[in-house]
Amino acid sequence: MLKQSFLALFVSTALTPAFAATEPDEQQELRAQLDLLKAQIAQLEARLAAQEQRNVAADTTTSVEPATVAITADAAPATDLASAQPDGIRVGGAIRTNYSHTSYSDGNKNRGGDFDFDIFRLNLSGSVGDVTLDAEIRFFDYMTTVKYAYVGYQLAEHWQVQTGITQVPFGNWPYNSHNYFFSTNYYIGLEDDHDLGILFKRRLANNWQLDLGFFKNDELGGVDGYVSNRADRYSYDIVAARLPGEGIYDDPNAALGEYNTLSGRFAYHTEFNSVKTEVGVSALSGGLHDGIRRAGDYYAWGLHLNSHYGNWNLQLQHTQYAYNVNDIKQMVVGSYGFYDSIAAEAKSGTFNLAYSLPLQWGPVTGVQFYNNYGLVYDKSDASANTMMNVTGFSLAAGGLFTYFDLVHARNQPFVGGSAVGNSKETERRFNINIGYYF
């Protein structure tokens, strides 16, 4: 900056005597050249100042850079705490609308389906100093809820810690599905679940990675959290035991809450003949509290596989869970503003296959075709199996991401049933979810 200023002074001083010895026309021409040279010097000084500011910022600040991820209905950018970016919090989000045509609603069929507002959401991500922030708040017509909100810190080269409302490590990560409705595991609280606690994440190194978490309670503060409705949440969580005489959708009479849950997920990565595979095992265990004392406990475990070959992706998972509360056979879950019921014990299996097709057709940049199948069986309440099969494709076009899903299901929430239903009918739902992400 000073060097450029001295140059300007030198040029001005050196040319001044020349003006006295020239004719008026020549003086005018030289003055115009001098003005042009001064303007060029001013531009160079501004560019130099901007470059110096960028260099200082690069030397003294550290932030996060979103990792490249496929946008799904609920995907949020993963953060790499080792990447260098200027301090600051970035704001993003999505607006989604939904069309559905169902077999289980005569009114819906008579109208030719329904087109509704789905969600408006805001995402915050970034860092101040060495501490990162990631958060998402969701606005529905009927509720407002926080999906996740946590701060993170890079403890070592491969170890990261997150604390706040963060994802419980369990099963195929981060999703055990490709479609808008997730898998059957989501509706029993074992896919994309978020609770209040602390999570330690070991990055993939030496072919293996590890996630360990301790969650004090669910995202709404547990059994006695200060909320008006314990069903106003994104994740499915246990909120009570289903007592004899209660309906499967009734508001619960005896509250329960998850607390002091330990969860771990171990995954090993291998490659053979261009097939990249992650094989993993997950387990969790915690207590159930009635507001006064410990009322029971629960556990879950799962084996999972996530394999890629070219554009193909295969996901397999076997899961088993149990809630132990006296002789209770059913538990109450709350989510999306209403209560439902699940068996106190059950097993589940999922089988997902997808093919991603790179495409450049106008604004369209990619299509993924998939079939996701899930089954919940061997239920402790002797209710019928829950089955859901989703065939469809997702399409990316600029900021738009759209799901086209054809769902066939029995005893499946949001597809004309409940997870403790006994229907023998297979219901159908054709669904289009259109989201604009910014």
**pLDDT at residue 10 in the model:** 36
pLDDT of residue 405: 98
Is the pLDDT assigned to residue 15 strictly greater than 50? no
Asked whether the predicted pLDDT for residue 1 surpasses 50, the reply is no
Would you say residue 24 has pLDDT above 70?
Answer: no
What value does the mean pLDDT take over residues 108-135? 96
Worst-scoring range by mean pLDDT, 54-63, 150-159, 208-217? 54-63
**Each residue of 79-93: pLDDT tens digit?**
444 445 678 999 999
**pLDDT tens profile 240-290:** 999 999 999 999 998 999 999 999 999 999 999 999 999 999 999 999 999
Mean pLDDT in residue range 343-363:
96
Residue 401: what pLDDT? 98
Inter-residue contact 429 to 102 (CB < 8 Å): yes
* Amino acid 168: pLDDT: 98
Residue 18 phi, psi (nearest 5) = -65, -30
List residues bridging with 153 in a β-sheet.
Answer: 131, 161
pLDDT, greater one: 29 or 283: 283
The whole-angstrom separation of Cα 409 and Cα 69 is: 29
Asked if 405 and 181 count as a contact pair (C-beta separation under 8 A), the reply is yes
Task: Check whether 55 has a pLDDT greater than 90.
Answer: no
CA distance 378 to 331: 15
Residue 4 scores a pLDDT above 60: no
pLDDT at site 254: 86
CB-CB contact of 304 with 282 (8 Å): yes
Q: Whole-angstrom Cα distance, residue 281 to residue 169?
A: 10
State pLDDT tens for residues 59-75. 333 332 222 233 345 54
Instruction: List phi, psi (to 5°) of 109.
Output: -65, -40
pLDDT in tens, 33-51: 555 555 555 555 555 554 4
Residues 154 and 199: their CA atoms lie apart, in Å, by 12
pTM attached to this predicted model: 0.81
Question: Mean pLDDT throughout 336-345?
Answer: 97
**Residue 32: CA count within 13 A, CB half-sphere:** 6
pLDDT band at 368 (very low <50, low <70, confident <90, very high): very high
DSSP state of 199: E
β-bridge mates for residue 318, sequence order: 303, 349
Q: Report the mean per-residue pLDDT for the chain.
A: 86
Nearest to 313 by CA among 362, 355, 282, 279: 355
